[in-house]
Amino acid sequence: MMEGIFPPVLQVSSLGLILDLIGTYVFGLSGAVVAVRRRLDLFGIMVLAVAAALAGGMIRDMALGSTPPAALRDSRYLVAAMLAGATGFFFHHGIERVSKPVMVLDALGLGLFAITGAGKALLYGLSPIPAVMLGVLTATGGGAVRDLLVAEIPRVLREEVYAMAALVGAAIYVAGGEWGWPGFETALIGIAATVILRIVSVWRGWSAPRAPGSDSA
């Protein structure tokens, strides 16, 4: 079923693989930064980096019946996640200097995984709407596991434009595929849409409406 440590991953296009590995690294870095802030030790940092990096893709692959998941079949995912943990361990001061580093890393991972999740779902024959939904689940899953492990309410619930940003990116990518747009450019536009929407929403403090009358509840 597999040979060597770096087996060919046939089910995913090489573009999908590259975006997936970048997303893995970026989400891993967000997990490492959260772990450093929580004063976890080196092992705790590695665990949270790996969990944040791999959980979204593993949920995606298990839902698609693509088992074992790419994260287990292809060691590059684990290497990317552990590199992210090590980067967070050694360079967290540099990362912290960026304003709101977890938010920015998270936004980038969100965009990357929304596109790779939706793309892999299309490859497995899902129709457009469920493919967009699996993109959102892939994108929000890793961050949700990260936040749950440190007993925080996940960002996907707390923050206004989060699942929505992933949804827009995945929808652009899926719609582009339907309309025959070139894959690489569409992927970049989808990722950019998610990242920009997410960062601008935090920067401008956008908020969605509350349920009518819920403030007085």
Site for its own copies in 30-89 (CB under 8 A): 35-37, 39-48, 58, 62-65, 67-69, 72-73, 75, 78, 88-89
- Residue 129 lies near its own copies (rule: CB under 8 A): yes
CA distance 2 to 7: 6
- Residue 133 lies near its own copies (rule: CB under 8 A): yes
CA distance 217 to 206: 23
- Residue 158 lies near its own copies (rule: CB under 8 A): yes
- Residue 130 lies near its own copies (rule: CB under 8 A): yes
Contacts of 147 (CB under 8 A, 6+ apart): 34, 153, 154, 155
- Residue 10 lies near its own copies (rule: CB under 8 A): no
Q: How far is the CB of 52 from its own copies (least distance, A)?
A: 12
CA distance 147 to 143: 6
- Residue 151 lies near its own copies (rule: CB under 8 A): yes
CA distance 147 to 145: 6
Q: If you ran DSSP here, which 8-state letter would residue 11 be given? A: S
- Residue 181 lies near its own copies (rule: CB under 8 A): no
Size of the site for its own copies (CB under 8 A): 74
